[in-house]
Amino acid sequence: MNQDIFVVIEHLRGQVSDISYIMLAAARALAQSQGGRVLGILLGHNAQGLAKNLAADQVLYLDHPSLADFTSDAYQRALASLITEQAPRAVFFGNTSIGADLASFLSAHLELPLLHACHSVTSEGKLISQICGGKIMTESDLANTMTLVTMIPGGFKSEEGQSEKPPEVTSMTTPALENLRVTLKEYIEPEVGDVDISKEPILIAVGRGIQNQDNIELAEGLAKALDGVVCASRPVVDQGWLPSTRLVGKSGKKVKPEIYLTLGISGAPEHIEGIVDSKLIIAINTDPSAPIFDVAQYGVEIDLFDLVEALTEKVGQAKG
């Protein structure tokens, strides 16, 4: 095992994902206390260009037609052989639709320890994970052996993992990728909704605390009074109470409104990820320990059902 820290660069349809830069920033923080170089691991086909702004000491590039788009089987095989050969100190993966298909699988397959949901790195090189919907943090060291890490956003800015100076890119040998059991058939574009929530200046966001579909009307009433639009966290969309075009967070849209007012949203990391660029967050939730209050500028602990009606009326009066 050497001291290098690998970062598996994620990209989707020709775009490097933000989490890749966030992981590079985390890996650099870890390298500062532990030593070692930060190496970007790029898998793709004719995709060297994606390396150009990665803040890495070096990029190891694996090229193969089967690596052009992410599929778990091909990526697992290519990474398993690279990690075994190179024996780095740690390998970072995003806790995303790409990285989460790889990290746990490789941990079991290669018998390597895995630290999940890393959010930040302390100056002593300790890794802080965030679990239980953001309510609990844990602190761990890397294991004594090569360690796999999955990373969530929140602790680093993506700019910290970008560089104007292109890194050195080294092409590596790709193992034979035959008889692959997972193949990509096509991409389906997101539904085009009646509104694009990523462009709306006033958003009223509803979460599990709204309790049932009929209560969405309350939020709609407030949104209408404020000339805003209603959006939601994952449980509300999974229940079919609002369409997926209104979903905010990891699997939905990232929003950047002037005002983001939440009704009964606890603030799980998957949701926070989509709202951090909001100018002003106002959270209404009866649970004082809800993590949403850690990102909101203003918080209200009273029952949303009592408040929304009164507030809607007052907004109406204020508008005359």
CA angle (270 as vertex; 30, 97 as ends), nearest 5: 75
Contacts to other proteins from residues 19-48, by CB under 8 A:
none
- Per CB under 8 A, the list member of 38, 210, 226, 265 interacting with other proteins is 226
* Sole residue written with tokens 């150009």: 52
If one asks whether residue 185 binds other proteins (CB under 8 A), the answer comes out as: yes
Kindly state the tokens that stand for 150. Answer: 């999955």
Contacts to other proteins from residues 85-114, by CB under 8 A:
95-97, 100-109, 111-114
- Least distance between other proteins and beta carbon 52 (Å): 22
If one asks whether residue 81 binds other proteins (CB under 8 A), the answer comes out as: no
If one asks whether residue 137 binds other proteins (CB under 8 A), the answer comes out as: yes
> Side chain identity at 168, as an amino acid letter?
E
If one asks whether residue 55 binds other proteins (CB under 8 A), the answer comes out as: no
Size of the site for other proteins (CB under 8 A): 104
- Quick one: 179 exposed, middle or buried, by C-beta within 10 A (0-12, 13-18, 19+)? exposed
Q: Which of 268, 260, 257, 154 is nearest to 209 (CA)?
A: 268
- Per CB under 8 A, the list member of 28, 89, 116, 271 interacting with other proteins is 116
**Choice between 108 and 195, CB closer to other proteins:** 108
- Least distance between other proteins and beta carbon 149 (Å): 9
One character per residue 254-283, x = contact with other proteins (rule: CB under 8 A): x---xx------x-x----------xxxxx
If one asks whether residue 164 binds other proteins (CB under 8 A), the answer comes out as: no
Helix (H) or strand (E) holding 33: helix 18-34
Residues contacting 238, CB < 8 A, separation 6+: none
If one asks whether residue 123 binds other proteins (CB under 8 A), the answer comes out as: no
Taking the CA atoms of residue 76, residue 79, residue 81 and residue 86 in that order, the dihedral angle to the nearest 10 degrees is -160
